Structure 1
Amino acid sequence: MRKLALKAVVAQVQQGSIAEELELVSGDIILKVNGEVVQDIIDLSFALADETVTLDVAKKSGEIVTFEVEKDFDETLGIEFENAVFDQVRSCANQCIFCFVDQMPLGMRESLYVKDDDYRLSFLYGNFITLSNLGTKDHDRIRRLHLSPLYVSIHTTNGALRAQMLNNKKSAHIMEQLQELIACGVDFHGQIVLCPTFNDGEQLEKTFEDIYRLVPAALSLAIVPVGLTKHRGHCFDLKGFAPMDCAEIIDQVTVWQQRCRSEQGKTFVYLADEFYVAAGRSLPPAEEYDGFPQLENGIGLVRCFIDEWQQCPVSSAGYTESIHLDVVCGVSSAKIIAPLVAKLVVKNLHVRVVPVENTFFGTHITVTGLLTGQDIINQLQKLDGPRDGIILPGIALRKGENVFLDNTTPTEVGQKLAVKVQTADFAKDLVSLLLNWR
């Protein structure tokens, strides 16, 4: 298990801010605020709420400087930090049979091997936590600061089965742990990573019923399929879901969704897009996602993409000369994008949707977000025909960085293919690039 030790390192200073007046720069480290060490940006936000603030700062030069700051109440300093926690990211105490981190190949970025299970990152960014490593002090802080909602990896409410799947006896007490959160005044979004023959079927029904009884504190429940890479030689033997299995899961969950909408006025339990795509089923309409509470978890991304695409105006007069563009995506996404592109009629525009097989993680991984730059390069190099440009999926790049999981950059893709490369983050960007390439 790898841990990630962190500090309050300044990443960026906003123009015209107090931090700029203090001449703070990227790389400076905030040591203390008002004489106290702060462990995360949650602590920092409370400490900086006062009108008088003392900052102890370690400058990049090594000099320690103390600043006395007078400011308006709740006025920010204008600092962005490299990380949200400044002490140490809480590591996962479990050894889940489906853990994706355990399926990572060697030689990648250090941060990709960190198994975070930190309630602070859950509150701040929606990271899912198992609740296995929370102690009394953690619950006290969660209650005192009202850190709600949290995002919880439930997987199953069968205690013995959960302990088996997570390889941790403490994980068996999930219902008690959820009740303790609720007693702290905390709401939660739940997640189930579905594994064939383990927590599906009757076990899935039990989990749904148990969590549904916790409404209104239970805000939503997402069901996502287990992701399996080819790097599982040392991992528990698991199988994925076949298209027929996905169809059966959709039918099972649809009954619950109809019940929830009838009783609560919202769907409550949501299936990952992969189930619908694999089964060849239509996705639910946008209104049945209730504002997309688990969009970051892949719940409704395809629906949002389709709807955004259809709302984009196609007013281009086209091109005076033929232009050939390659649109790169994952194998599953191609089933969605290709039909949309086929209906896009623009004079002299020729678009080729390129579904890239994931040889880096294994062909079972078909989502666009896990594509690597080298796989993209290899796939494009095999294709014949004219190519005036390549549109890469922004979702495959690391957040905040212009780099794929294998450390390849879009610039390198362009250099290898000797052609202009652009990145589209979502449907609107893709349509805009297709209509305005020149």
Structure 2
Amino acid sequence: MLEKSYENVISEVVPDSIGERIGLEKGDILLSINGQKIEDIIEYMFFIADERLDVLIKKQNEEIRHYHITKEYDEDLGIVFENPIIDKAKSCRNKCIFCFIDQLPSKMRETLYFKDDDSRLSFLQGNFVTLTNMSDQDIDKIIRYRISPINVSIHTTDPVLRIKMLNNKSAGNIYERLKRLTDVGIRINGQIVLCPQINDGENLDKTILDLSLLYPALESVAIVPVGVTNFRESLFPLSIYDKDRANEVIEQINNWQIQLYKKLGTRFVFLSDEFYVLANRSIPSYEEYEEFLQIENGVGLMAMFEYELMDQLRKAQTERIGPKKISIVTGVSAEAFLTKLCREIERRYLGLVLDVHTIENEFFGRTITVAGLVTGQDIFKQLEHKNVGERLIIPESMLKTGEQIFLDDVTVDELQEKLGVRVVVSAVNGKDFLRKILE
């Protein structure tokens, strides 16, 4: 008798879908499609694209049933699995000198310490992978099933330096693997975590040049500064970017963008917003980010946010809605940016007072300045004796994806109860931010 496979258990059947019409139910187990055992979500997506399917299902009463399905090409079956990728996520085998997870304090929730390095999560959720956790057969699978785009943590194309940075003797063949994928049209977005005096300067120049030769399949490269917390005991010694160093990086990338735009028609390499904040410089214009391919990496997030907000304000009529006081919570990096935008909102909506509260990161350390790493306990400690008005707006980037919980396990409801004020979560875009202020 076939044993129950947790990974292939159906958790939901979408109403009015093919799955519902043929009688699939929650708790059923997918065994195969067209005779092919489905080992992960990528295989599932590949095989259900056919117009004729022979689906083998194990019902909850152990009965095995065949379903012969005729459908439109690429039409989904409408089933959701208990495990979104069906298979177990592959964990990271690297010991990167800059790994943020290694810098977490102890006794946080267990899921925060899991390091994934799985190309399927890269394709489905935008996670970055190093390609060190993959065999040649895994690379063949990406090519066969056209898993694209994928996000790759590159850091450097120098084989010796990459082995050192990732602490993995298998990490040196990155360029060979990137070329193998891009040669067959697999689209890739690359990431470089920049560490002072390690992979910047001349090494960064060589890395950008090497990667630009893989364009257009390698679509873009994002550069983010290394993050250093208070919890680096016994870890590789790292320094962080200050104003002068950040300015040097900006000038270096500006020169590259000019060259590459002339040669390729794209700026290709982009800096995260943190560099401009560190250097106390204006962020580039909305147009300079082109297609915002790496906005999830903090590249162009401020430019997009400002564009969306100002677009909404241009459409609005000046009106009086106050007196009304609302507080906004952010990290140190976004303080000046958000304060400037709040003054624009106040000019349009008379009587409205927006207080921007900058939260110093005591939990991870004051070198961590981004809003996404602000914790619930730091918000409470720094606001408990302040008049925050009728409600407090926080960005959803501070919370676990899909849940109302901060990194330190404080929930939004708990913060709301402790502060005695309504806490409102805003999406990280200008339109929703304005809506949450005016609602």
CA deviation after TM superposition for structure 1 residue 341, in Å: 0.5
How far apart in 2 are the matches of 1:286 and 1:404? 30
1:434 aligns with 2:434: no
* More deviation, 145-154/217-226: 145-154
Q: Report the CA distance shift for 1:355/1:220 in structure 2 as closer, same or farther (over 3 A).
A: same
CA deviation after TM superposition for structure 1 residue 413, in Å: 1.7
Partner of 2:37: 37
Secondary structure of the structure 1 residue equivalent to 2:86: coil
1:70 aligns with 2:62: no
Partner of 1:416: 418
Partner of 2:391: 389
CA deviation after TM superposition for structure 1 residue 163, in Å: 0.9
- Residue-by-residue CA offset, 1:220-252 (whole Å, 9 max, x unaligned): 111110011112113211111011110111011
How far apart in 2 are the matches of 1:398 and 1:58? 34
CA contact (8 A) 2:159 2:171 kept: yes
Q: Which amino acid aligns with 1:424?
A: S
CA deviation after TM superposition for structure 1 residue 27, in Å: 6.0
Length-normalised TM-score, structure 1: 0.91
Partner of 1:291: 291
How far apart in 2 are the matches of 1:423 and 1:111? 23
* More deviation, 369-378/20-29: 20-29
Q: Report the CA distance shift for 1:86/1:163 in structure 2 as closer, same or farther (over 3 A).
A: same
Partner of 2:198: 198
CA deviation after TM superposition for structure 1 residue 264, in Å: 1.4
Partner of 1:406: 408
The 5 Å alignment of 1:216-295 reads: 216-295=216-295
Q: Which amino acid aligns with 1:407?
A: D
1:351 aligns with 2:354: yes
- Residue-by-residue CA offset, 1:39-68 (whole Å, 9 max, x unaligned): 222111233234344242464xx7566362
Count, aligned residues: 428
Partner of 2:365: 362
How far apart in 1 are the matches of 2:239 and 2:433? 34
1:334 aligns with 2:324: no
How far apart in 1 are the matches of 2:374 and 2:63? 44
CA contact (8 A) 2:43 2:145 kept: no
What stretches of structure 1 move > 6 A for 4+ residues in a row? none
The 5 Å alignment of 1:368-379 reads: 368-379=371-382
1:322 aligns with 2:328: no
* More deviation, 298-307/48-57: 48-57
Q: Report the CA distance shift for 1:281/1:18 in structure 2 as closer, same or farther (over 3 A).
A: same
CA contact (8 A) 2:41 2:87 kept: no
Secondary structure of the structure 2 residue equivalent to 1:257: helix
Secondary structure of the structure 2 residue equivalent to 1:198: coil
How far apart in 1 are the matches of 2:6 and 2:205? 41
CA contact (8 A) 1:123 1:150 kept: yes
Secondary structure of the structure 1 residue equivalent to 2:102: helix
How far apart in 1 are the matches of 2:239 and 2:6? 37
Q: Which amino acid aligns with 1:66?
A: R
Q: Which amino acid aligns with 2:323?
A: S
Q: Report the CA distance shift for 1:63/1:435 in structure 2 as closer, same or farther (over 3 A).
A: same
Partner of 1:47: 47
Secondary structure of the structure 2 residue equivalent to 1:107: coil
Secondary structure of the structure 2 residue equivalent to 1:247: helix
Secondary structure of the structure 2 residue equivalent to 1:192: strand
Secondary structure of the structure 1 residue equivalent to 2:319: coil
Partner of 1:121: 121
How far apart in 2 are the matches of 1:322 and 1:149? 49
Secondary structure of the structure 2 residue equivalent to 1:87: coil
How far apart in 1 are the matches of 2:26 and 2:409? 23
Q: Which amino acid aligns with 2:372?
A: G
How far apart in 1 are the matches of 2:78 and 2:217? 34
- Residue-by-residue CA offset, 1:84-135 (whole Å, 9 max, x unaligned): 4222212222110001111122233332222111122222333221121221
Q: What is the percentage of aligned positions where both structures have the same residue? A: 43
Secondary structure of the structure 2 residue equivalent to 1:343: helix
Structure 2 unaligned segments of length 5 or more: list them.
Answer: none
Secondary structure of the structure 2 residue equivalent to 1:169: coil
